Amino acid sequence: MVRRLPHAEGRSHGVSDLSGKRVAVTGGRGFLGVHTCRALEASGATVTAAGSSDFNLIEQSDVRRFYETLQPDIVVHLAAACGGIGANVENPGRFLYENAIMGLLLLEEARQAGIDKLVLISTTCAYPKDAPLPLQEDSIWTGKPVGATGPYGMAKRLLHEACETYGRQYGLDTTVLVPANLYGPEDHFEEEKSHVIPAIIRRFVESQEAGLEEVVNWGSGTPTREFLHVRDAARGIALAAATKTGPEPINLGTGVETSIAELTNAIADAVGYTGTLSWDTSKPDGQPKRYLDVTRAQKRLGFSAEVPLAAGIAETVAWYRSSLTD
């Protein structure tokens, strides 16, 4: 019989209590995983970070061993087979299969183990290209996820439905979170792994150190995106672990759209770069707008992002510079 967490609707803002709970975090040694483990520990949980060297989560016997060994009350599933655009182009079948099978095996073994809860971390890649803005959770199934990340997004969509189905048939308590673009200290700054904010930070730091008088940026700078500090994301995940939300997906973000030009200027200011910023409009812009409706997170989790983008960028720049001297 699945044990239930108490319904925590109306929990005081930003506070989660996981005292006495054992929480296992798949992908717990990655960028988001490290911060999530800290947030869970700060909420009173006993936390185990599980990595691919510990358990092969696409093998059912290893997933069963994961539950038998760690005996978790709650599982936070962060592990994913993913990468940049190039990796998605090269591995559509692998990313579809491995992400789907990891999630399905974790759910099936979770219900057999009788855990309290599973928190699934999804992706905005699950949204269709032409979903109305701001992206609202009920629009996820209004079209097919497209582009290079489409198979990855479809695997996560399947897991959204699996969470709802397992709740309906077996009473398994789940929360599905769909975070905005993450950034912050301890992010990946390697060229082959970095996303937009660490990539731009690295470019401006290197340009400043090289004494370059101009930095040329791709596209027009007009597209908008939404950025969530990793510490806010981790706090939202801890809240989800402690709260009975229902299985419907929940956007986790700021609800604030920021143009790439505004972001680039903010990073240049934080770095202290005083040269010229220009734009190569012959390069592609990507989707023109992308930001989230965060009403559901506010209502069901009492979650609101706290770290302003400018402060978060300054902190991330300082961390990156300190990492270069370590």
At 66, which CATH number? 3.40.50.720
Tokens of 224: 């908008």
The answer on 311 and 170 residing in a single domain is no
Region 161-176: mean pLDDT is 98
Q: Is residue 265 part of a domain?
A: yes
Burial label, 85 (beta-carbon count in 10 A; 0-12, 13-18, 19+) = exposed
The answer on 231 and 97 residing in a single domain is yes
Say which of 152, 166, 183, 320 is annotated catalytic.
152
Query: Residue 147: pLDDT band by 50, 70, 90 thresholds?
Result: confident
Region 300-317: mean pLDDT is 98
The answer on 316 and 275 residing in a single domain is yes
Clarify whether 183 is annotated catalytic.
no
Q: What is the CATH number of the domain that holds 316?
A: 3.90.25.10
The answer on 263 and 247 residing in a single domain is no
Region 262-283: mean pLDDT is 96
The pairing of beta strand 46-50 with beta strand 258-259: unpaired
What's the pLDDT score for residue 221? 94
What's the pLDDT score for residue 55? 97
What's the pLDDT score for residue 306? 98
User: Which residue range forms the structural domain that includes residue 74?
Assistant: 22-182+227-252
Does residue 191 surpass a pLDDT of 80?
A: no
pTM higher than 0.85, yes or no?
A: yes
The mean pLDDT value of the chain amounts to 93
Q: Is residue 6 part of a domain?
A: no
What's the pLDDT score for residue 14? 55
Q: Is residue 171 part of a domain?
A: yes
Distance CA 140, CA 184 (A): 27
The answer on 194 and 118 residing in a single domain is no
Does residue 46 surpass a pLDDT of 90?
A: yes
211-246 per-residue burial string, b: 16 or more CB within 10 A, e: under 16? eeeebebebbbebbbbbbbbbbbbbbbbbbbbbbbb
Q: Which residues, 6 or more positions from 172, have their beta carbon under 8 angstroms from its beta carbon?
A: 2, 107, 110, 111, 115, 118, 163, 166
Total of domains in the chain:
2
pLDDT tens-digit map of 224-247: 999 999 999 999 999 999 999 999
The answer on 272 and 210 residing in a single domain is yes
Strand partners, 227: 181
What's the pLDDT score for residue 6? 36
The answer on 96 and 47 residing in a single domain is yes
Structure-model confidence comparison of residues 288 and 29, the more confident one:
29
Q: Is residue 155 part of a domain?
A: yes
Q: Is residue 90 part of a domain?
A: yes
What's the pLDDT score for residue 156? 97
Contact 159, 108 (CB under 8 A): no
The answer on 215 and 129 residing in a single domain is no
Q: Is residue 84 part of a domain?
A: yes
The answer on 78 and 40 residing in a single domain is yes
